[in-house]
Structure 1
Amino acid sequence: MELKVSISGVRGIYGADLTLKEAVRFAGLFANLVKTRRCALARDTRPSGGIIAGAVSAALMDAGIDVYNLGVAPTPAAFREARKYGAGIIITASHNPLEWNGIKFIVEGRGLFEKELQQMLASAPATGKAPGTEHPATSGYVDEVAALAGAGASKVGIDAGGGAACGYAERLFKKLGMQFASINGVPCVSSRGPDPTADGLADLCSLVTSNKLDLGFALDLDADRLVVVDEKGNKLTPDATLLLCVAHAAELGMKNFVISIDTSVAVDKYVAERGGRVSHSKVGEANVVDKMLETSAEAGGEGSSAGFIMPKFNMCRDGLLAAATIATLDKKTMAGCLSFASQFSQIRTKIAADSSLHAAVIEKLPDALKAESSQLILGDGVKAVIDEDSWVLVRPSNTEHAIRVSVESRTEKAQSLHKKMSEKVQRVYEAAR
Structure 2
Amino acid sequence: MGKYFGTDGFRGEANIDLTVEHAYKVGRFLGYYYGKEHKARIVIGKDTRRSSYMLEYSLVAGLTASGADAYLLHVTTTPSVSYVVRSEDFDCGIMISASHNPYYDNGIKIINGLGYKLESEVEELIENYIDGKGEEIPYATKDNIGRTTDYVNGRNRYIGYLISLVANSFKNMKVGLDCANGSAYSIAKGVFDALGAKTYVISNEPNGLNINKDCGSTHMEQLRRYVLENNLDVGFAYDGDADRCLAIDDKGNIIDGDLILYVCAVDMKKNNELNNNTVVTTIMSNLGLYKALEEKGIAYEKTTVGDKYVFENMMENGHSIGGEQSGHIIFSKHATTGDGILTSLKIMEVIIENKTKLSDLIKEVQIFPQLLENVRVNNKKTAREDIEIVNAVAKVTEELGDNGRILVRESGTEPVLRVMVEAPTTKECEKYVNMVVDKLKSQGHVIEK
Give the TM-score normalised by structure 2: 0.82
- What is the aligned counterpart of 1:143 among 125, 150, 160? 160
Q: Residue 310 of structure 1 is aligned with which of 328, 331, 339?
A: 331
Q: Cα deviations across residues 194-222 of structure 1 (Å, max 9, x unaligned)?
A: 752443542x3343233321111222221
Instruction: Write out aligned runs for 1:304-343 (5 A).
Output: 305-330=326-351, 332=356, 334-343=358-367
Q: Which segments of 5 or more consecutive residues in structure 1 lack a partner in the other structure?
A: 375-383
2:120 aligned with 1:127: no
Q: Which moved more, 1:151-160 or 1:165-174?
A: 151-160
**Aligned partners of 2:79 and 2:337 also within 8 Å:** yes
From 89, 93, 118, the equivalent of 1:88 is 93
Give the deviation of 1:102 after TM superposition.
1.8
State the distance in 1 between where 2:107 and 2:412 align.
16
| CA pair 423-191 structure 1, distance change in 2 beyond 3 A | closer
Q: Does the aligned pair in 1 maintain the 2:168–2:349 contact within 8 Å? A: yes
Superposition deviation, residue 283 in structure 1: 0.5
Within the candidate set 261, 276, 300, 2:322 is matched to 300
Are residues 208 and 372 of structure 1, via their aligned partners in 2, closer, same or farther at CA, if it must alter by over 3 Å? closer
Equivalent position amino acid for 1:67 in 2:
A
2:401 to 386, 389, 395: 386
User: 1:371, CA displacement in angstroms?
Assistant: 6.4
What is the distance in 2 between the residues matched to 1:371 and 1:63? 56
* Identity level (%): 26
Q: Which residue in the other structure is 1:377 paired with?
A: none
2 CA distance for matches of 1:192 and 1:350?
18
Match of 1:379 in 2: none
1:291 pairs with 2:313: yes
Instruction: Say if 1:43 and 1:74, in contact at 8 Å, map to a contact too.
Output: yes
Separation (CA, whole Å) in 2 of partners of 1:235 and 1:269: 19
Are the equivalent residues in 2 in contact too, given 1:205–1:229 (CA < 8 A)? yes
Q: By how many angstroms is 1:181 displaced?
A: 1.5
Contact 2:400 2:423 in 1 (8 A): no
1:269 maps to which of 291, 294, 297 = 291
Alpha-carbon offset, residue 335 of structure 1? 3.0
Distance (whole Å) between structure 2 residues aligned to residue 171 and residue 400 of structure 1: 35
Instruction: Report the CA distance shift for 1:337/1:82 in structure 2 as closer, same or farther (over 3 A).
Output: same
> What aligned pairs does 1:31-430 form with structure 2 within 5 A after superposition?
31=31, 34=34, 37-83=40-86, 84=88, 85-107=90-112, 108-123=114-129, 124=134, 126-129=137-140, 130-137=144-151, 138=153, 139=155, 140-153=157-170, 154-188=173-207, 193=213, 196-202=216-222, 204-252=223-271, 253-254=273-274, 255-303=277-325, 305-330=326-351, 332=356, 334-355=358-379, 358=382, 361=385, 367-370=391-394, 373=397, 386-387=401-402, 390-410=404-424, 413-424=425-436, 426-427=438-439, 430=442
Name the amino acid aligned to 1:182.
V
Distance 1:346 1:146, change over 3 A: farther
**Bigger shift: residues 348-357 or 191-200:** 191-200
What is the CA deviation profile of residues 342-388 of structure 1, one whole-angstrom value per residue up to 9, with x for unaligned ones?
A: 442222113343216635536665555556758xxxxxxxxx9832x
Give 3-state SS (helix, strand or coil) of 1:166's partner. Answer: helix
Corresponding pairs, count: 417
Distance 1:16 1:371 in 2: 40
Match of 1:16 in 2: 16
Unaligned runs of 5+ in 2: none
Q: Are the aligned partners of 2:182 and 2:241 in contact in 1 as well (CA < 8 Å)?
A: yes
Q: Deviations over 1:125-165 (max 9, x none)?
A: 74345322322222322222233243244320112133221
CA RMSD, Structure 1 to Structure 2 (Å): 3.1
Q: Provide the rounded CA distance (Å) in 1 between the counterparts of 2:439 and 2:221.
A: 37
- The answer to whether the Cα contact below 8 Å between 2:321 and 2:330 also exists between their aligned partners in 1 is yes
